[in-house]
Amino acid sequence: MSQRGSAMSRRNLLTSAAMAAGLGMLSEAVAQENNPAANVVDRGANLKIKSLRGFRVGTKAYLKIETQHGITGWGEVTGLDPNVAVALAHSLFELLDGENPTRIEHLWQKLYRAHRDMRGGPFMTHVISAIDMALWDITGKTWDVPVYRLLGGPTRDKVRMYPHAKAQKAGTGGPHPYSGNPPDIENLVKYIKDTRERVGKDGTVMFDAHCAIPPAMLIQLANAIEPYDLLFLEEVAVPGNIEVFKRLKQHIKIPMATGERDRTIWEMLPYLHERCIDILQPDCGHTGGITQMKKIATLAEAYFVPLAPHCTMSELGLSASIHAAFAVPFLLIHEGYLDGHIMPAGVARKSWDQDKDGYASLPQGPGLGVTVDESMFEKVNADPKRIFKWPTPILPDGAVRDY
């Protein structure tokens, strides 16, 4: 082949290669354009927290976190003087100002571990719980999905709740001595027996000892109520000494539950490690929010211990807890009150329903799916029955008691 022919062949080869490469790049670009995964935009990348506002709403505190793009999130503080909760939340805003609200885990750790001498404890953790709810609310709204989708999706179609016609929890009915006389035991047994008859053999009965029945009397009572087939005994002892729970477990055959007064994975772990509790009852508003609820559920799953979340929050905090409940695999039953005694109807409006059998449906809409009506706050606060007051529980002899 002549030098000229050889040069033309090389030129044609290079031209063909360039055209092939160009077509390949064009084909790849078209493929990427049609690939949904390649067109995902991180909507939360540039989001920033610009303000936090706290509101006293009766005995609760509502927190509203706002971003520079107008996306807001709501959370609820419970079990704490709302005036104190609002003040602490405003102080903690120093650690949130300008942060990306979708960095939920990072911000949880930043708040919880911020001060070495105030790490944990109910005041700090209850307020962090509300902030955590609000951050999940914002993140869900940012991606236009319900929070349970961000938690891995629902593990069930509905969540069983109490109180309901077929699921009732009996209470202590007042203070009790360290060890009971026959009438003390008989009165409680009758209360439980009446509850069983009310719900029927196919219903569910729970008994809340509320830390108000000391261990010796609780052992007496537990032996007497075995025939009534309780789902569980709740709050069998005051938290703080795991040896008490271990002793009760040795003497009581009825499944025992606790957790509403324990916070974070660190306070739940001893119950699981010592195998002295059958059911864990974390409260989304006490234990550190949705973030900790999910972690506690994972710990409990490793020990084959189900959750029965405690909840005495309004529809705002209750909805946050319901989202977490839908996303955990081991769940027994969920507490929740919708009769208006916790918060008047309309202050916080949920997006899920409760059916005739007591089951909650999946929440709808992005974030927590809760609409908060700020115009009703003043009306709630004007009600003298909705003012926080410190409890003063005493025994008949005037001594201070647990409750």
Note the pLDDT tens digit of each residue in 147-162.
999 999 999 999 999 9
On average, the pLDDT of the chain sits at: 92
Rg (CA), the chain: 27
For residue 212, being part of any structural domain is answered with yes
Half-sphere exposure of 103 (CA within 13 A, CB side): 16
Collapsing DSSP states into helix, strand and coil, what is residue 349?
Answer: strand
CATH number at residue 229: 3.20.20.120
As beta bridge partners, residue 11 has none
Q: How do residues 309-359 score in pLDDT, each as one tens digit?
A: 999 999 999 999 999 999 999 999 999 999 999 999 999 999 999 999 999
For residue 359, being part of any structural domain is answered with yes
Domain that holds residue 318: 159-366
Q: Do 308 and 230 reside in the same domain of the chain?
A: yes
For residue 323, being part of any structural domain is answered with yes
211's CB contacts (< 8 A; 6+ apart) are: 235, 236, 237, 238, 261, 402, 403
Q: Do 282 and 254 reside in the same domain of the chain?
A: yes
Q: Do 175 and 299 reside in the same domain of the chain?
A: yes
The structure's pTM equals 0.90
Q: Do 256 and 140 reside in the same domain of the chain?
A: no
Place of tokens 């930043």: 110
CATH number at residue 135: 3.30.390.10
Q: What is the DSSP letter of 343?
A: S
Task: Give CA–CA dist 90/61, Å, rounded.
Answer: 12
Q: How do residues 130-187 score in pLDDT, each as one tens digit?
A: 999 999 999 999 999 999 999 999 999 999 999 999 999 998 877 788 888 888 899 9
Q: Do 166 and 141 reside in the same domain of the chain?
A: no
- How many domains is the chain built from? 2
Alpha helices in 207-283 (DSSP H): 215-225, 242-251, 264-273
